[in-house]
A and B are shown apart, each in its own frame.
Chain A
């Protein structure tokens, strides 16, 4: 039963071990993901509607309010 999952895990671990240029790339990917999710998403990009309103009805109401009262100017 566990043969397949083990083979898959070994496939990846052996692959990572044998990498040369790839190691640098993984460092870049990991740092990037930490910056994107751990810094940008967490501190700078909250879900505007999700974090301020409890229900979809409230969110719909907020958008309705915003779209019917926004200033009529394009530029």
Chain B
């Protein structure tokens, strides 16, 4: 048992580490690819050589990030096969199909057109080059789409049927998998947040150029593009974030309750603006959930349901089986968690019976067991829980990661309002102000923290599930030793540290070297 917990925990940490590091590179690729596309379009339309120099500078930084980040996502796929073999098999082609499409799209679109982007300046027409740049940006977004579709399916499994003989979920509706409301929202929210991150990066580096004073016009032009993209990005990210909250309230109400530290819900539920999570609190123990709580009246009802008087169930309500219908106007008694556990155990027992019947070659018994599995499969994963409380995600991590994301997002909105206003209204003195430039530089880590906090919330908030309601994490792992997972964990720590140091040092060296020259008039190599 201890060995299982160790394997589960180490595999979790390893996957989290790999995903977090992978996500340091991806949003910058998404954001910079769009910004470069816009800059090159300006060059194409104006034929102003300054925009060409600007495009090339940011394209090089895009290349450095792409080179350091490329293939770090492959390690996640290795981990699926080695550490999460039950999960990998259980999800079947539902996970495999989007990942395969992602591999093909990423390989053909990105590798082909990135080569044209970097090698093609003097070899292809400006029009073809511009098309390659935009196709790279589209390829990057499409790659993200398939990964996010796979992730969204884990949060909201749809469009599949479970086949106990193959022990796999078989896709019955590609449309339901790809166009599930969770997938669509997740795609836009994530890609748009990449625009914000890329914009902060461009503004931050440009601020550094402004501090160095050699490339004032270069930096101001870059900020003008990034300011506009960043403002559009953060407004749209917040809009899709609002959509995410509504989706979570419908399909993962336990996640919503956990991220609010809400144990007992009500109509017109307030949103916690400030407070500390009582980490000793357990469902039904009567303790206060949040210390020093300051709430926005009716805030959570508005956020989750766009209705100030809507009922938002808390953790205890959900455990008892209370739920709200999709339109948010009716509270009804759904299946309690205790009952779900019973149904899950029934499904697992039926799966055992199916196995035994299959070994005997008893078709009638197999059909009978299959019927029981089908009737109870919706709660299959609950059969691994000992008590309803086991279905509660870590409240403190969910609570704080949500607030870090929202607070950083709020700050980024203000930041981009100022940047866009100042750059488009030519308030050059403000943009060149040393303190403003330092703020721009310091915003770079803020946006990464914001982005990672969003993922922490998405993934920790859905615990204990790898697939919502169907497969908990402890059932998804392979029967391997925790020692081997620990070894690879530390190997990854070393590998990723080297990669990050390499990326940051090459980038900083490149920026520094360029900053010492006048980038508009530096002779081209």
Contact = CB atoms under 8 A, between A and B. Distances in A.
Contact of B85 (A12, A15, A48): A48
B383 A44 contact: no
Contacts of A25: 63-64, 67-68, 506
Contacts of A65: 355
Contacts of A40: 75, 78, 488, 491
Contacts of B119: 11-12, 14-16, 18
Taking residues whose C-beta sits less than 8 angstroms from the other chain, chain B's interface range is 35 or more
A36 B498 CA distance: 13
Taking residues whose C-beta sits less than 8 angstroms from the other chain, chain A's interface range is 35 or more
Contacts, number: 144
Nearest to A39: B491
A4 interface: no
A21 B4 CA distance: 46
Contacts of A47: 81-82, 85
B348 A44 contact: no
A67 B474 CA distance: 10
B488 A72 contact: no
Interface in B478-525: 478-480, 484, 487-488, 491, 495, 499, 502, 506, 510, 525
A17 B65 CA distance: 21
Interface string A22-57: 101110110011011000110011111110000010
Given A28-B68, A29-B67, A21 B506 contact: yes
Given A29-B67, A64-B164, A73 B1 contact: yes
Interface of B: 1, 4-5, 60, 63-64, 67-68, 70-71, 74-75, 78-79, 81-83, 85-86, 88-90, 115, 118-120, 123, 164-168, 348, 351-352, 355, 383-386, 390-391, 464, 472-475, 478-480, 484, 487-488, 491, 495, 499, 502, 506, 510, 525
Interface of A: 11-12, 14-16, 18-22, 24-26, 28-29, 32-33, 35-36, 40-41, 44-50, 56, 59-61, 63-68, 70-75
Given A14-B119, A19-B118, A45-B78, 16 more contacts: A11-B119, A11-B123, A16-B119, A40-B488, A44-B82, A46-B82, A47-B82, A60-B167, A60-B168, A64-B164, A68-B352, A68-B355, A70-B384, A71-B4, A73-B4, A74-B391
